[in-house]
Structure 1
Amino acid sequence: MSRAEVVEARPGPLWTFGLLRGELVATFRRWRTLALLGVLAAVPVLVGVAVRIETGDGSSVADGGGGAGPAFITQITNNGLFLVFTALAATLPFFLPMAVGVVAGDAIAGEANAGTLRYLLVAPAGRTRLLLTKYATTMAFCLAATLVVAVSALAVGALLFPLGDLTTISGTRIGFAEGLARALLIALVVAASLTGVAALGLFVSTLTNSGVAAMATTVGLLITVQILDQIPQLHAIQPYLFSHHWLSFADLMREPVYWDGLRRNLGLQALYAVVFGSAAWARFTTKDITS
């Protein structure tokens, strides 16, 4: 009976906590989830090693002929903490949302395909409570995936490059402790930036009984939105695409911090979460799970 067997069949906060705990354990024990986290952890390693090799002769990345690269990459050789910002900037456009799309797309459709969805609803969870639990689990993965990238980047940056006070985008100097605090805040903002993708994936997951189809559709929509965001002729609709303000987290490395882009990004993510979360609820509460 899957996770429903290990959660006592009684409603209330304790039951809800047990259901959430079961979902979290099941999600983070899957080999697919561990593989996704492993790939995300490898990205900062590859970036750090590449920068180290490129600058091994004392030249800077900017002088290496490789182009500007992701944001902050020219600063990595001066301070390894910038590898955290670079890794998040490199993974946010595709790797992080793709991983979230896989987990969110499989949330409901995967249970339906495995035949365990009806058993999860035998206990007095209710469809709304189960859907909220699935979304909370997906958001926990968003946070875990972002922190995996940040921690991996911090470890690699400390091993390969010096650490210390750093220079902000505005040219001012801040201490290492403050820089570390801003890195944590940036990681939290990046995780929050994935709430729209999580809600979209959960909605798609309620439309089909095939986990593979739901994951593929979510990733396909992600790629489509990214393409639309790069076409100049579509500038009128681009501010409303969930990916448009993702890189606004760089404003946290300014002195003073620019909050306008961050507010627009988080507000847009909240809007997507409400719209597609409501659509997922409307679909799931009327979905026939007996056929």
Structure 2
Amino acid sequence: MSQSSVALPALRPRARRTLGGSLLVNELVTMFRRNRNLALLAALALIPVALGVAIKLSTHRGRNGGGFIAEVSNNGLFLVFAALSLTLPIFLPMALGVVSGDAISGEAAQGTLRYLLVAPAGRVRLLAVKGFSLVVFSLVSTAVVSAAALLTGLALFPGGQVTLLSGDSIGMGAALVKAVWITLLVAASLLGLAALGLFVSTLTDTPIAAMAVATGLTIAAGIMQAIPQLSAIQPWLYTYQWSSYADLLRDPVYLSNIEHNLLIQLGYVVVFASAAWARLTTRDVTS
């Protein structure tokens, strides 16, 4: 009798469902059914709503902010860009840091990791599924912010022509297309953090510790980016070009910063996904 056939009767419910069906589908369903993750997405959706209401009230009092916020009262679509600029430095990375830090360590803490590695779910396959699910969560969380901001902005403020940062004006349809591209770029900007969090989650059986490290490293990177004396290493930080999405609001589009951002994220994904693979494939999960 094989080892897997002995272990299967003792599998926990989630592990039995995983081995009996699609590992990827099960992972995505579990991710988006988890109350903690749903609460994170709900909190992200509330941020642009609160921001829109605050701008609406401040406009009535004759006060305006700067940057994208100053443009929201003239065109509700700018609430999408304002909300992304507000959530990208802190809230989106925090949500992704929590989910990515829990990816492997959460399974280890629950005692399901060794069962998930029973055939046909091998270590490489499990890691690939976890990584892809983090890509999906990054896209969904960013889309939630954009969708909530768009609905709130159009409900509270006028629409019409959109004035770009370069001074040109485009129609609402073209501006919506740009909003979609910006949402995709912001989601892609978080992939370096996702890979880093996935690697950290292979190092410990304590999810809270992995979440704290993934989130703390992002805070540390932001602090390092603000210190002039560290200018030599700043271009290598995964947070360095997070604001490059604003270049999509120019005509012509500035591609250099966007390309730099995507290359940084790709580099982090390759390095830390490889490190996560090396750690997970040599890790003793039998005990």
TM over 0.5: yes
1:3 matched to 2:14: yes
Distance 2:267 2:157 in 1: 40
Q: Secondary structure at the match of 1:107?
A: coil
- Shift of residue 60, structure 1, vs aligned partner: 4.9
Q: Kindly tell me: are residues 185 and 241 of structure 1, through their superposed partners in 2, closer, same or farther at Cα, counting changes over 3 Å?
A: same
Distance 1:217 1:123 in 2: 31
Q: Does structure 2 conserve the Cα–Cα contact (< 8 Å) formed by 1:3 and 1:23?
A: no
Gap regions ≥5 residues in structure 1: 10-14, 63-67
Equivalent residue letter for 2:58:
E
Residue segments in structure 2 that go unaligned for 5+ positions in a row: 1-11
For residues 8 and 110 of structure 1, do their structure 2 counterparts lie closer, same or farther at Cα, with a shift above 3 Å needed?
closer
Correspondence 1:175 to 2:171: yes
The Cα shift of 1:212 comes to: 1.0
Residue 123 (structure 2) pairs with residue 112 (structure 1): no
Structure 2 residue aligned with 1:42: 46
Give the match for residue 58 of structure 2.
54
Give the share of equivalent positions with the same residue, in percent.
Answer: 55
Which of 243, 257, 272 does residue 239 from structure 2 map onto? 243
Match of 1:23 in 2: 27
Please list, as runs of the form range in 1=range in 2, the aligned pairs for 1:233-272 lying within 5 A after superposition.
233-272=229-268
TM-score (norm 2): 0.94
Does the residue aligned with 2:76 lie in a helix, a strand or coil? coil
Question: Counterpart amino acid of 2:104?
Answer: I
Distance 1:210 1:289 in 2: 14
- In structure 1, what residue type is equivalent to 2:72? I
Deviation at 1:164, TM superposition (A): 1.2
Partner of 1:162, secondary structure, is coil
Superposed, which structure 2 residues align to 1:182-221 within 5 Å?
182-221=178-217
- Letter in structure 1 aligned against 2:14: R
Alignment size in residue pairs? 276
Deviations 1:114-135 (A, max 9, x none): 0000111113111001000001
For residues 23-52 of structure 1, give each alpha carbon's deviation from its aligned partner in whole angstroms, at most 9, with x where no partner exists. Answer: 000011001000100110011011111110
Contact 1:60/1:77, CA 8 A, preserved across alignment: no
SS in 2 for 1:269: helix
2:51 aligned partner, one-letter code? V
TM-score by length of 1: 0.93
User: What's the CA shift string for 1:86-134, capped at 9, x where partnerless?
Assistant: 1001000110011001000000000000000011111311100100000
What is the RMSD computed on CA atoms of the aligned residues? Answer: 1.1
Cα-to-partner distance string for 1:229-253 (whole Å, 9 max, x where unaligned): 1111111111110001000000000
- CA distance in 1 between counterparts of 2:258 and 2:14 reads 38
